[in-house]
Amino acid sequence: MSILITTRAPMPDARANTSGLDRAELMQMRRFIGSAQAVLRAFELRIIETLDEPTPDKIPAWLPLATAAERFGLKSDTVRLWCRKEPGIGRRAGKRWEVSVPALRRRLGR
């Protein structure tokens, strides 16, 4: 994973006491801090997403219907209909449906 961090405002000089700064310098510092905070928030969200992404070796080929629907952000009824109508997406395991993760990904174009 590579990360590119850019800001629009140049980094102002760091001073312990801001009382000697004029209004323009203070506004420049404020803009810089605001943009830095936005970059850090975006970076934090990307880290969280990365940690939540299952790696291919941890993804089972078949999932219970409810789990697959939740993981892909779909309604269970929609996935159940696809299992019935489209070959290869689902299979019966007793009275329950199991969903093929690769087939569901192909169906969704992911």
Q: Rounded to two decimals, what is the model's pTM?
A: 0.47
CATH architecture of 60-108: Orthogonal Bundle (1.10)
Q: How far apart are CA 43 and CA 57, in angstroms?
A: 25
Q: How far apart are CA 66 and CA 107, in angstroms?
A: 17
Q: How far apart are CA 45 and CA 39, in angstroms?
A: 10
- The 10 Å Cβ neighbour count of residue 79 is 23
Tens digit of pLDDT per residue, the chain (110 long)? 455 555 555 555 555 566 677 888 888 888 888 888 888 888 887 777 666 555 555 667 899 999 999 999 999 999 999 999 998 899 999 999 999 999 999 898 87
